[in-house]
Amino acid sequence: MSTTEVTGEVTTPAEPVAPVRSTRPRVRRLLSTAGPLAALLGLCVVFAALAPGFATANNAMAIVEQAAIPVVLAMGATLVVLVGGVDLSIEGVMAASGLTFVLLAANSVNGNDLGLLAVLLALGVGLLFGVVNGVLHVVVRVPSFLVTLGTWFVGLGVATVLFGTATPQLADPSLAAWAGGHWLGLPVVVVFALAAVAVTVLLCKGTRLGMHTYAIGGDEATSRLAGVPVGRTKIILFAVAGLLSGLGGVLATIRLGVGDVSVGSGSLFLTLSAVVVGGTLLSGGRGGPLHSLVGVLLLVVLGNGLLLSGASPYIQQGAQGLIIVVAVIATGWPARSRLRVVK
């Protein structure tokens, strides 16, 4: 039973196959955990030397704040990747939730003023998208990257419809305060990010759902035979990812101050790169939320450092594209073999 890679090997021989001895698993695991962390530290050192203003407390705070929303998104993306799938709908869900939120809270376009409830309902929208993703993938058996490719654009479309003609501006002072405000001494977004990390880590390490997630990612067929509820688990994970995308959309909208269909623009890239770079394997079963946290920090530090060094902002996008390719090839390198097929 050879596991298929993401949209990958589609053949499953019925005959038993000799056990694949993983090449020095300890070394690989060490590399995947320590590698990104080392790279992050290395980058910090390099930029501290080369970029003016990098190594200051203010900049560090800026980095952390900038990383907050991507971290929230990365937690959701990690859960889906761990189980062997992928969620491309992040930006669409962010847009739909963001618009929902701003139109339900006090705004310049209509008379709603639901306050905190608006946040919750917007999260509900995200959850709904996630459930749709999960159900279409599990029940209709469409590959996850295609389902989420579709819902990405459906989400953008929904947001466009909601947007209407005039830009809705957020007019709720208490919610708007989240953008610059502090809770417990930390910026609000950072608190959310930390909470997201904590919840995801708890889920992965401490719950039965988490164990099942890793099992399915490790070998879906074996897990199924062992009695793991594969379908249900996947739907739940997609739902949680949708919820977190929704949260990201709400937070980004608050920061922006207005409803905007392109509120999530560029997030997919950053999030997916962070997950891959952080060491979570796209085939599933390896890595986790802490890996992705390092991945996000790595990319944000990279962008920050490049900016402070005077590089054009487009270089950042180019660098991210390059990094995602390098990271996925590097992490997949040990698994190569002559006849292997990965689509």
Partner 1 sequence: MIAVATKTSAERTSTEMRAPEGAAQAVSRTTRDRLRLAGPSVVLVALVLLVALAEPNFLSMNALAVVSAQAVPILLLGLGQMFVILTGGIDLSVAALASLATVILATVIGSLGPLAVVVTLVALTLIGALTGLLIVVGQVPSFVVSLGALGFWGAVALVASGSTTIYISEGYDAIFWLSSWTVLGLPMAVWAGVAAVAAVFCAMRFSPRGNVFHLVGLGEKAAMMSGVRTRIVRIGAFALSGFFAGAAGIVLSAQQQSAAPQLADSLLLPAIAAVLVGGCAITGGIGGAWRVLVGALVVTVLRVGGSVAGIDPSFQQIVYGAVVIVAVAVTLDRSRLSIIK
Partner 2 sequence: MTSLLELRNVTKKFGPNTVLDDVSLSIAPNEVVGLIGENGAGKSTLLKILAGVHRQDGGRMVLGGREVSFGSPADAADHGIGVVHQEQSLLPNLTVGQNLILGHEGDTARAGFLRRRKIRARAQEMLSVVESTVDPGALTETLGFAQRQMVEVARAVGGRQVEHPPLLILDEPTSVLEPEDVEVLHRRVTALKERGSVIFVSHRLDEVLRFSDRVYVLRDGKVVGERIASAATESELYQLMIGKGAAEEIYSSERKQAVPRTGTPTLSVRNLTCGGKAKDVSLDVHAGEIVSVVGVVDSGREEVARAVFGAVPVDSGTVEIDGQRSAPGSPADAVRSGVAYVPAERRVEGMIAGATVAQNIATVHPVKAGGGRISSGARVEETARGWIEKLGIRPADPDADIARLSGGNQQKAVVAKWILGDGLKVLVLDHPTRGLDIGAKEDLYAVFRDLSDRGVAILVLADTLDEAIGLGHRVIVMRDGEITGAFDSPPGNPPSKLQLLEKMM
Residues 215-244 that bind partner 2 (CB under 8 A): 215, 217-219, 222-223, 225-228
- As to burial, measured by CB atoms within 10 angstroms (0-12 exposed, 13-18 middle, 19+ buried), residue 264 is buried
Please give the Cα distance from 48 to 62 (Å, whole number). 15
Report residue 223 as tokens: 């897990």
x/- site string to partner 2, residues 259 to 298, per CB under 8 A?
--------------------------xx------------
Residue 187 or residue 264: which is nearer to partner 1 going by CB?
A: 264
Return the one option of partner 2, partner 1, none that residue 163 interacts with (CB less than 5 to 8 A, by type).
Answer: partner 1
Q: Which three-class secondary structure state does DSSP give residue 323?
A: helix
For residue 208, the partner it binds in partner 2, partner 1, none, with Cβ less than 5 to 8 A by kind, is partner 2
Is 84 in contact with 233 (CB distance < 8 Å)? Answer: no
Contact 65, 59 (CB under 8 A): no
- Least separation in angstroms between residue 256's CB and partner 1 is 20
322 binds partner 1 (CB under 8 A): yes
Query: Taking CB under 8 A as the criterion, which residues in 20-39 touch partner 2?
Result: 22, 25-26
Question: What are the two backbone dihedrals, phi and then psi, of residue 321, each rounded to the nearest 5 degrees?
Answer: -60, -45
Task: Tell me the torsion sign for CA atoms 204, 208, 214, 216.
Answer: negative
* Closer Cβ to partner 1, 54 or 152, answer by number: 152
Subset of residues 70 to 99 that bind partner 1, contact rule: CB under 8 A: 84-86, 92
Burial status of residue 215 (CB atoms within 10 A of its CB: 0-12, 13-18, 19 or more): buried
Q: Segment near partner 1 (CB under 8 A), from 35-43, 48-56, 137-145, 286-294?
A: 137-145
By CB under 8 A, tell whether 83 contacts partner 2.
Answer: no
Assess 342 for contact with partner 1 (CB under 8 A).
Answer: yes
